[in-house]
Amino acid sequence: MEQLYVKVKKVADLLNESDNTVVFTGAGVSVEDYSHNLPSPGNGLPVMVAPEDFTIQRFKDDPQSFYEEGEPFFSMIYRLEPNEVHTILAELEKRGLVKTIVTDNIDGLHKKAGSKQVLEIRGTLRSASCAQCNRQLAIDDVLVNGGEGNFLPLCPDCKEPLRPDVVFADEPLPSDYYQAKDEAREAELMVIIGSAMKTSPENQLPDECKNLVIINQGPTPYDQQAKVVINDSPKKVMKLLLEELDNRKS
User: What does the pLDDT read at residue 35?
Assistant: 54
11, part of any domain: yes
Is the domain of 190 the same as that of 218?
A: yes
Domain span holding position 89:
1-30+82-122+173-250
Is the domain of 60 the same as that of 134?
A: yes
User: What does the pLDDT read at residue 78?
Assistant: 79
35, part of any domain: no
60, part of any domain: yes
Residues 6+ apart with CB under 8 A from 229: 7, 213, 214, 223
Digit-coded pLDDT (tens) for 88-132:
999 999 999 999 999 999 999 999 999 999 999 999 988 999 988
Is the domain of 198 the same as that of 92?
A: yes
Is the domain of 75 the same as that of 102?
A: no
Is the domain of 132 the same as that of 219?
A: no
Measured between alpha carbons, how far is 237 from 28 in angstroms, rounded to an integer? 13
User: What does the pLDDT read at residue 103?
Assistant: 96
Nearest to 121 by CA among 100, 138, 136, 137: 100
Is the domain of 203 the same as that of 93?
A: yes
7, part of any domain: yes
68, part of any domain: yes
Measured between alpha carbons, how far is 186 from 208 in angstroms, rounded to an integer? 8
CATH number at residue 160: 3.30.1600.10
186, part of any domain: yes
Is the domain of 18 the same as that of 62?
A: no
144, part of any domain: yes
Q: For residue 163, what are the β-bridge partners?
A: 129
CATH number at residue 198: 3.40.50.1220
What are the mean pLDDT values of the chain's consecutive 10-residue runs (250 residues total)? 92 97 94 56 40 78 85 78 96 98 94 97 91 87 55 86 87 93 97 94 93 96 96 96 91
User: What does the pLDDT read at residue 44?
Assistant: 36
Is the domain of 207 the same as that of 86?
A: yes
Q: Which of 166, 195, 219 is the last residue of a domain?
A: 166
